[in-house]
Amino acid sequence: MLLAITRTVSPAIEQCEVTFAAPGPIDHQRASSQHSAYESALRNAGCAIEHLPAVDHHPDGVFVEDTALVLDEIAVITRPGAISRRGEVESVASLLARYRPIARIVSPGTLDGGDVLVSGKLVYVGCSGRSNADGIRQLEAIIAPLGYQLDTVAIQDCLHLKSAATLIGDRLILADPSRVDATAFSGHEIIQVAEGEGDAANALRIGDLVLLSAAGQRTRERLAARGLKTTTVANDELAKADGGLTCCSLLLKLDPQTER
């Protein structure tokens, strides 16, 4: 069974970091109700939910993905690239310590979970404005002894690697070719997002289901034509905060020994 860690949308969401989205107001109530629908979609897909409360003074706390990388063997607590987000990690670390041994990225390293795409024992890390070379080196030193191979991937015009590419099946990646050169993912089949639907590249795989943004209807048709099971959720309010679908949860196997 999968556990999904989520967090309440902060009442201060309007003070969030915004790098790529168009500046403009963010409606807290609408963001919260879209987030509740997202949690329902996770439940419907069979996930158990651990819902953390908002952290005071952390407008971006809902984007829990950035605070950790959870593998079957270990949870790596990140040191987010945005200074405003560093106080988000402790509550996630305390919760994850119940499920995994903990390792940490420390200063001067920075790493955002949104930059880390895991495909089996391959770990791709985006060279973004948030994850620096020291953080990436630290991550490699933690996971290489566990049998993982780390590769870096160049990205452009987006916040994180997973803004541009996500794993949607075994060795199957959904990508926006205008923001990542998908030849970096050698050995993987690539499906491109439909023209004009770049944000749909951030999809969340839960078992054999792919959760897509409602704004990616033509991309959904492509995946359906490829035989993939899909569902959509509206995410346009948190998209104004540069947030996508993977950003709002940390997924972990509750029993990694038996669930493969």
Q: Which residues bind ligand CIR (CB under 6 A)?
A: 16-17, 19, 60, 63, 65-66, 82, 85, 114, 159-160, 163, 241-244, 247
Question: In the bound complex, what is the minimum distance in angstroms from residue 260's beta carbon to ligand CIR?
Answer: 26
Question: In the bound complex, what is the minimum distance in angstroms from residue 257's beta carbon to ligand CIR?
Answer: 28
| Residue whose CB is less far from ligand CIR, 66 or 237 | 66
In order of 13, 43, 114, 178, the CA distances from 56 in angstroms are 11, 27, 22, 37
| Residue whose CB is less far from ligand CIR, 205 or 257 | 205
| Residue whose CB is less far from ligand CIR, 1 or 30 | 30
Nearest to ligand CIR by Cβ — which residue? 114
The backbone region for 227, taken as left when phi is positive above 0, alpha when psi lies in -120 to 50, beta otherwise, is left
User: Is 247 among the residues known to form the active site?
Assistant: yes
Distance CA 199, CA 213 (A): 8
Phi, psi (deg, nearest 5) at residue 187 = 85, 5
The answer to whether 102 and 150 are in contact (CB under 8 A) is: no
Task: Please give the angle made by the CA atoms of 108, 110 and 116, to the nearest 5 degrees.
Answer: 150
The answer to whether 204 and 2 are in contact (CB under 8 A) is: no
Phi, psi (deg, nearest 5) at residue 51 = -105, 115
Please tell me which residue in 35, 160, 188, 248 is annotated as part of the active site.
160
Please tell me which residue in 47, 158, 247, 248 is annotated as part of the active site.
247
Outline where 89-233 has alpha helix (H). Answer: 89-96, 133-143, 161-164, 217-225
Question: In the bound complex, what is the minimum distance in angstroms from residue 64's beta carbon to ligand CIR?
Answer: 9
Residue with tokens 């990436």: 136
Question: In the bound complex, what is the minimum distance in angstroms from residue 112's beta carbon to ligand CIR?
Answer: 6
The answer to whether 228 and 10 are in contact (CB under 8 A) is: no
User: Is 160 among the residues known to form the active site?
Assistant: yes
Tokens for 185?
């993912």
Three-state DSSP class for residue 103? strand
Q: Which of 57, 13, 23 is nearest to 247 (CA)?
A: 13
Question: In the bound complex, what is the minimum distance in angstroms from residue 258's beta carbon to ligand CIR?
Answer: 29
| Residue whose CB is less far from ligand CIR, 112 or 224 | 112
Question: In the bound complex, what is the minimum distance in angstroms from residue 159's beta carbon to ligand CIR?
Answer: 6
Tokens for 228?
């993939």
| Residue whose CB is less far from ligand CIR, 157 or 189 | 157
| Residue whose CB is less far from ligand CIR, 116 or 182 | 116
Active-site annotation, residues: 160, 247
